[in-house]
A and B are shown apart, each in its own frame.
Chain A
Amino acid sequence: MTEAHVHHPNYVKIWAILVVLLIVSVAGSMSHIREVVLIAAFGVALVKAYLVAKNFMHLNVEKRWVPYLLIMCLIFVGVLFAGVAPDVMKHGGLHWTKNPLAQSAPAAAGAATKNE
C-alpha cells in the first residue's frame, strides 16, 4: 500500500550535507572556546536531526498531527527534566542544603541469610 510521494528529494545531496555537518561538528569540538564547542556539537546535531526528520522521514508531507505527536513526547521528556533537575542539580535553598553522603550501600550480591 505504498503511495507515491509527490517528489523524492535528492537524497544523496542531503547525505552529503549531513557528512559535511559531521566534519564541522568534529572540527568545531576541537576549539578551546566553550561556546564554539557547544554550538558545533549540539547546534549541528539539531540541524542534522531536522534534516533527517524532514527529508528522510518525510515528516514535512506526513499528516500534520504526526509531528505534533512526536513533539508532544519531547515536551513530556522536557517536563520530566524540569521536575527532576531541581533535585539532582540544586545544592541548597533558603533554609536547606544538600549534604553529601559518606557511605555507600553494601554491594548487591550476598546470600540472603536471615530472611526467615
Chain B
Amino acid sequence: MSTQVEHAEPGFFRKYLWSTDHKMIAMQYMFTGMAMAMIGGYFAYAFRMQLGFPNQYVPGYGIVTPGRYNALVTMHGSIMIFWVAMPVLIAAFGNFLIPLMVGCDDMAFPRINRLSYQIFLLSALVLLSSFLVKGGPFGGAWTAYPPLSASGAYNLTPIGATLWLLAVALEFVAFLLGGINFTVTAMNSRAPGMKMYDIPILIWMIILANIIFMASVGPLIAGAVMLLFDQTLSTGFYDPTRGGDPLLWQHLFWFFGHPEVYVVLLPAMGIIAEIIAVFARKKIFGYKTVLYTTWAVGFLSFVVWAHHQFVAGIDPRMANIFSVTTLLISVPITEMVFLYIATLYGGSIHLDTPMLWALAFIAEFMIGGVTGIFLGSSGTDIYLHDTYFLIAHFHYTFVPIAIIAVYAGLTFWYPKMFGRMLNETLGKIHFWGTIIPFNVIFIPLFITGIAGDQRRVYNYAQFAEQSRPALQHLRTTSTIALLFMLAFQLVFLFNFFWSLRDGNAAGANPWRSTTLEWTVPSPPPHGNFAEMPTVYRGPYEYGLPGRSDDFLPQNVPD
C-alpha cells in the first residue's frame, strides 16, 4: 500500500516549526537538547573552575559565590537529565527511528507528537526564564529536598524554585504524551510480518523505558504539586510540625528517580546493541535473553529506590531490604553487558567511529556499575554517601548514557538523518579527545571522594576539617581535564555542521545494516516508504552462509 498523502510543498513555518512529521519533530528535540547541553556544560565549567581554583575569577563567568554555586550545580544536574539525556535519547532517537524501524509512515498520533514537543519547549523556556528572575535560578539541588526547596528563606531562590518545579512538571507531561504515542505506535503500527521478536532491540528498549517512566512518574507529579503548594500556598505537606513529613518528598522523588536512571539507560543500551551488531557483522547474542533481562531490570528498578536515602533517617530495616534489591539489580545489567561482549566475540570487528563509541560505552559503564556496588551496600554507603565517590560513580554511568551513547547514535544515524557522511578522522579525534579527558576528570574524584570530600560544597576553605589541601592538585587536575574535554566538543560541532554541506553523500545503507530504516533514501522522504514494507525475518541476520552479501535486510523476501 503506497502512501496516500499528497499535498503541496509546505512553507517554512509548516515544515520546520509546525510540522507533524516525526523526523522533523525528532530534529526539534535533538537541537533543543544539544543547545541545553551546551548550557549545562557551561555551568559545569563554571563550578569546576571554582573547585579547581577556589575564589578565582572564572573567565567567561565571573566570581562563583556560594549562592551561585548552588544554582550552578542544581541547574547542571537538572538540565543534563531532563533537558539533554531524555530529549535526545528518547524523544529524538525515538521519534526519528520508531516509525522507520517498525515500517510505517509516521507516529500513530502525529499531532499529539507535535504537541508533546511544544510542551517540552515550553518547559525549557520556563527553566531558562528562571535565570532572569530575582534571586536567580533554583539552588536547592536537582533533588529538591524540603524544607530547603519549600522555603524561600532557606534556598534564597524562591521564584526560581517555583519556576524550576513548573518546568519539571511540564517536561513530565511532555514525555508522558510523547511516550504513550511511541508505545502505541510500536505496539500497533508495525509492518506486516514484524512479530514481537523481530522488533529491533532499540525499539524494545525505548518502549520499555517509556513504560517505566509512565509507571514511576505519577507519584512524583503528585509530590511536585504538593511541593508547589508548600512553596506558594503555605501548606505543610512536608512540614513535620504541621503533620507532614520531609521524608515523604524523598520517597516520592526517588520512587521516580531510580527508575528514571533506567529510563535513560535502556535507550542507550539499545543504541549500543544496534551498533555492535552492525560493526561486528554478527547477530545479537541472545536476543530473547536481552529482552528478559531488560524486563527484569524494569521490574527491579521499582524496588531499589531507597538506596538513595540510606543516611536520610529511613527505617533501618528498610535499608536492609533495599540493599539486597540494589545488589540484585546489578545481576541482569551485568548479564546484558556479557551478552554484548558475547556478540562481539568472533565477530568481524570494524572500528569505525560509532563502534569506538559503543565499545567505550561498555568499558566506561562497567566502571560505573562496579563502583555502584559500594554505594548500594548500606554499610559502606554510610561513609561514601554524598562524597565525590558518589559523583564519580554516577558520572561513570550518566556520561556513557547521555554523552557516549548519544555520540554513538549520532555518528551512526547521521548519514540517514542528513544524507551525508561525517568525517571519520575528525570523528576519531573527537572520540579520543572526549574519552581520555573524561577519565582524567573523574578518577581523581573517586580518590578525593574516598578521602572524604563532600559534594555540594563550594569552598572547602570554609570547613577546616574538610579542606585537605594535599588533595587540591587532584581537584585542579579534574578541572583542567574538563577544559580539554569541552574544547574537543568543538571538533564534533565543526564536523557536524561542516559535513551537512560538504560531507560525502551517503547512500541509503552506508553501514550495510539489516534494519528497515536503511532501506529508504537518506534522508527519508515524507511518508518514509514509497511502498510499505513487509517483514520476513528478525533484525540481525548477518553472516549467513551461502549468500554473496554478509547481511540480509528484514524486508527482502526469501
Q: Please say whether the chains A and B touch (CB closer than 8 A).
A: yes
Interface residues, chain A, CB within 8 Å of chain B?
A: 72-73, 76-77, 79-80, 83-84, 86-88, 90, 93, 96, 100-116
Q: Which residue of A lies closest to B153 (CB)?
A: A106
From A106, A111, A115, name the one whose CB has the most chain B CB atoms within 10 angstroms.
A115
- Assuming the contacts A87-B318, A116-B65, asked whether A108 and B255 have C-beta atoms less than 8 A apart, the reply is no
CA distance A72 to B218 in the complex (A): 14
Q: How many angstroms from the CA of A72 to the CA of B215 in the assembled complex?
A: 9
Q: Could you give 16 example pairs across A and B, Cβ below 8 Å?
A: A79-B302, A80-B219, A80-B252, A83-B305, A86-B314, A87-B245, A88-B245, A104-B242, A106-B154, A107-B153, A108-B150, A108-B232, A110-B153, A114-B67, A115-B157, A116-B65
Give chain A's interface secondary structure class. Answer: loop
CA distance A114 to B134 in the complex (A): 11
Asked if residues B135 and A76 are in contact (CB atoms below 8 Å), the reply is no
Chain A positions within 8 Å of B255 at CB level? 80, 83-84
Q: Are B306 and A83 neighbours in the complex by a CB distance under 8 Å?
A: yes
Residue B303 is within 8 A (CB to CB) of chain A in the complex: yes
A-B contact count (CB 8 A): 106
Least CB distance, B55 to chain A, in whole angstroms: 14
User: Within the assembled complex, what's the spacing in Å between the Cα atoms of A72 and B151?
Assistant: 36
Cβ of B352 within 8 Å of any chain A Cβ, yes or no, is no
Question: B315 — which chain A residues lie within 8 A by C-beta?
Answer: 86-87, 90, 93
A111, chain B: closest CB distance, angstroms: 7
| Interface range for B | 35 or more
Bound-complex Cα distance A76 to B236 (A): 26
- Given contacts A103-B241, A109-B152, whether A88 and B248 have CB atoms under 8 Å apart is yes
- Closest-CB distance, A65 to chain B (whole angstroms): 10
| A79 neighbours in B (Cβ, 8 Å) | 302-303
Main secondary structure of the interface of B (DSSP, over half): helix
CB distance from B395 to the nearest CB of A (A): 27
User: What distance in Å separates the Cβ of A115 from its nearest Cβ neighbour in chain B?
Assistant: 4
**Closest Cβ of chain B: how far from A86's Cβ, in Å?**
4
- The answer to whether B158 and A110 touch across the interface, beta carbons within 8 angstroms, is yes
If A79-B302, A102-B241, A105-B147 touch, whether A86 touches B317 (CB-CB below 8 Å) is yes
Nearest 3 CB-CB pairings of A with B: A112-B135, A105-B147, A106-B153
Report yes or no: B215 in contact with A105, Cβ–Cβ below 8 A.
Answer: no
Contact of B230 among A72, A103, A108 (CB under 8 A): A108
The verdict on B469 contacting chain A, using a C-beta distance below 8 Å, is no
Q: How far is the CB of B184 from chain A (nearest CB, A)?
A: 13
**B312 to chain A: closest CB distance in Å?**
9
